[in-house]
Chains A and B, each alone.
Chain A
Amino acid sequence: MRVVVAEDLFLLRDGLVRLVEAYGHAVVAAVGSGPETLDALLIHRPDVAIVDVRLPPTFSDEGLQAALAARREIPGLPVLILSQHVEQLYARELLADERGGIGYQLKDRVLDADQFTDALDRVAHGGTALDPTVVAKLLGRPARVDPLAALTDRERSVLALMAEGLSNAAIATRLFLSEGAISKYTTSIFAKLGIAAAEDTNRRVRAVLAYLDGSGG
């Protein structure tokens, strides 16, 4: 895979490049500011980009804005956003275009290299990889939209893992169930949320969006 890394702290950028290369991917560009990130994404059109939220020159959400701008130019460009903290607000903005290929993870996740590259892979293949912290916050809220209330507890936990971006196989392993059972749950979740069969990835992202809307505002 061809990867672009955008991170302003040299040590972390260097570490990310090493990590990605250690897993056999090619880093085509490693940049350290918002404008550079946008340029690199548009020129290299990587298979996946790793972008820090807070970047120079403003040290506000330059990285996030650069990623969103690049995705407007190149729809569905896979981006894994890394941040020191996770905000539902940003998760919503990232997921707003329903195209998948989006990850939003705490920087700490880099500590667990396997999990991190797993998330990177999922994002590169058009999936989602939300940080468990975001999902946990969502779970902590009482749902107030009826379609979600119709879900059973088991279906809710499947949806939560779906929101993290796990595949059916991965969800099956986590919940100690068979993959067939999971796909039955996902079908009934899609039915209850009124999401018609379309392209499979899109359906999953839309289910996550329904979940976000149901739990948020």
Chain B
Amino acid sequence: MTGTAEVGPLRWARAVGRGLYRSVVVTGVTGALPAVVVPVAFFGFRFARSWSTDLSAPLPVLALVYAGEIAMTLLWTGAAGWFVVAFLGRALSEAARWAARRWLGASVEPQYNPVLPVTRMATGFWWNGYAYHESQREARRRATLDARRRDPQLRRDALWLLVAAVTVLPAAAAPLACLAAGGYLLTRPDLLGYGLTLCAAGLAAAPFGWRLLGPVGVRLLGGSRRSMDRRVEELEAIRADLTQTQAAELERIERGLHDGAQARLVALGMSMGAAERLVDQDPAKAKQILAQARSSSAAALAELRSLVRGINPPVLAERGLVDAVRALALDAALPVEVRSTVPARPERPVESAIYFAVAELLANAVKHARASRIEIDLDYGERVLTATVTDDGVGGIGAAATEPGGTPSAPPAGSGLAGIERRMAAFGGVLRIDSPVGGPSRITVAVPCELS
């Protein structure tokens, strides 16, 4: 604010001007719903009344007709309100949020449901996260509708519009109404005094009226407390899970180093010492010890190598996800075909997570599916990286938890798949299983990410 150095009247003038501008904006943002609903209710009722104005009937019948007309009007009004909320609700709420953030510094963070990407299932249908559809276009269109229909935030937006119409709107519109009425009275010489008073009152109220946006908006424009709490719980579970996995991994590495490579290096040093002592007295024996030492150093190297592979496969570091998956495919005991449309490397943690998920899925397919061939597809689109492992095996993964018709559902807890799902969740990703009994199985991991 620049007004601090200015003199009183000028500061007041600026405050009033700003207040008027903000009142207009807030009135516009909160007044759209009443602007449609009130006329519909008013004229709708007059229209409904017109059906029976010249009706003469006994009182009970008249009362019944009257009630019917009111019900009709309510129906129309409700429909009009629903249309406004459905088509303008989000835009109006976003505008109110913008105003609350900019003028009041309020923190109002909505949580709209994202529109999920669609994936093709083995059955040929398209799955959009909610339901199956025959064509990709239909699935995309319905994904938007489904995301909207199931969005608690949109319901809260509707509540905000309703509440604001009876609280924020009157407060913000009052100064404007005073000015309008006062302006009109100023044109009537006999009511000049009233006009001046009204105008003065409107101007005086202008800096304050719109401020009701603050307390009401903070309560209704942000994400709902309950869904936020649930998200926090989810994130806490994921974090606990990751911490545990990480600790176990560190322990494994430490044990590997301690029992394996480290012990071998100590033994190596001891053999060298022995050889050093023997080299003059018994060269043949010394040579033998040195040869042993050499093979022991080779074993230590091999151990270190396998340890490193478990942390981060070298080929993943060198070539990235796609070639690392190709290398996996080459090492698999079954014919594996890898197809990729991923143009660049994703962020490293995501890359590593997807790689290990694919490695596990591939190992599962080889071990349990009784498959004869496996296909891996890597795709990137709409900022989501997906890896799909398809096998022609017996299927029935998570059969106990799968509803009839092969609808994907949560994998059984405790299985490797549940582990993959949790790790994907840490990156905001998902695991989808399509594995009807009798096969084939198709498992997809999808993670939103940017490519480098």
Contacting residues, chain B, for A174 (C-beta < 8 A): none
Contacting residues, chain A, for B297 (C-beta < 8 A): 111
Query: A88 contacts B294, CB within 8 Å?
Result: no
> In the complex the two chains form, what is the Cα distance from A142 to B332 in whole Å?
10
Q: How large is the interface on B (under 10, 10 to 19, 20 to 34, 35 or more residues)?
A: 20 to 34
Q: Smallest CB–CB gap between B414 and chain A, Å?
A: 31
| B336 interface hit (Cβ, 8 Å) | yes
> In the complex the two chains form, what is the Cα distance from A111 to B337 in whole Å?
37
Contacting residues, chain A, for B305 (C-beta < 8 A): 84-85
Q: Choose one: B298, B317, B323, B335; the contact of A89 (CB below 8 Å).
A: B323
Query: B294 contacts A89, CB within 8 Å?
Result: no
Q: Choose one: B298, B301, B327; the contact of A87 (CB below 8 Å).
A: B327
Query: A217 contacts B330, CB within 8 Å?
Result: yes
Query: B327 contacts A89, CB within 8 Å?
Result: yes
| A54 interface hit (Cβ, 8 Å) | yes
> In the complex the two chains form, what is the Cα distance from A65 to B317 in whole Å?
15
**Closest Cβ neighbor of B313 among chain A residues:** A85
| A132 interface hit (Cβ, 8 Å) | no
Q: Choose one: A53, A108, A137; the contact of B331 (CB below 8 Å).
A: A137
Q: How large is the interface on A (under 10, 10 to 19, 20 to 34, 35 or more residues)?
A: 20 to 34
Q: Smallest CB–CB gap between B218 and chain A, Å?
A: 50
A84-129 interface (Cβ within 8 A of B): 84-85, 87-89, 92, 107-108, 111-112
Q: Smallest CB–CB gap between B327 and chain A, Å?
A: 4
Contacting residues, chain B, for A18 (C-beta < 8 A): none
Query: B317 contacts A216, CB within 8 Å?
Result: no
Query: A89 contacts B330, CB within 8 Å?
Result: yes
Q: Smallest CB–CB gap between A100 and chain B, Å?
A: 22
| B46 interface hit (Cβ, 8 Å) | no
**Closest Cβ neighbor of A137 among chain B residues:** B331
| B318 interface hit (Cβ, 8 Å) | yes
> In the complex the two chains form, what is the Cα distance from A53 to B314 in whole Å?
11
Query: A85 contacts B335, CB within 8 Å?
Result: no
Contacting residues, chain A, for B327 (C-beta < 8 A): 87-89
Contacting residues, chain B, for A44 (C-beta < 8 A): none
> In the complex the two chains form, what is the Cα distance from A108 to B298 in whole Å?
6
Query: B319 contacts A141, CB within 8 Å?
Result: no
Query: B309 contacts A85, CB within 8 Å?
Result: yes
Query: B314 contacts A217, CB within 8 Å?
Result: no
| A60 interface hit (Cβ, 8 Å) | yes
Q: Chain B 267-311 against A: per-residue CB contact (8 Å), 1 yes, 0 no?
A: 000000000000000000000000000100110011001000100
> In the complex the two chains form, what is the Cα distance from A54 to B305 in whole Å?
15
**Closest Cβ neighbor of B301 among chain A residues:** A108
| A36 interface hit (Cβ, 8 Å) | no
> In the complex the two chains form, what is the Cα distance from A100 to B337 in whole Å?
27
| B333 interface hit (Cβ, 8 Å) | yes
A30-78 interface (Cβ within 8 A of B): 53-54, 59-61
Q: Smallest CB–CB gap between A84 and chain B, Å?
A: 7
| B329 interface hit (Cβ, 8 Å) | yes
Contacting residues, chain A, for B204 (C-beta < 8 A): none
| A144 interface hit (Cβ, 8 Å) | yes
| B133 interface hit (Cβ, 8 Å) | no
> In the complex the two chains form, what is the Cα distance from A140 to B331 in whole Å?
9
Q: Choose one: A54, A108, A112, A141; the contact of B333 (CB below 8 Å).
A: A141
Q: Smallest CB–CB gap between B213 and chain A, Å?
A: 54
> In the complex the two chains form, what is the Cα distance from A137 to B302 in whole Å?
15
Query: A111 contacts B298, CB within 8 Å?
Result: yes
| B101 interface hit (Cβ, 8 Å) | no
**Closest Cβ neighbor of B304 among chain A residues:** A84
Q: Smallest CB–CB gap between B350 and chain A, Å?
A: 18
**Closest Cβ neighbor of A140 among chain B residues:** B333
> In the complex the two chains form, what is the Cα distance from A62 to B337 in whole Å?
27
- A interface residues with partner B (beta carbon < 8 Å): 53-54, 59-61, 84-85, 87-89, 92, 107-108, 111-112, 137, 140-142, 144, 216-217
Q: Please name 7 further chain A to chain B contacts, defined as beta carbons within 8 Å, in addition to the given A61-B318, A92-B330, A217-B338, sorted by A numbering.
A: A60-B317, A85-B309, A89-B315, A89-B327, A108-B302, A216-B330, A217-B330
- B interface residues with partner A (beta carbon < 8 Å): 294, 297-298, 301-302, 305, 309, 314-315, 317-319, 323, 326-327, 329-331, 333, 335-338
16 contacts between A and B (CB under 8 A): A54-B314, A54-B318, A61-B319, A87-B314, A88-B327, A89-B315, A89-B323, A89-B330, A111-B297, A111-B298, A140-B333, A144-B335, A216-B330, A217-B335, A217-B336, A217-B338
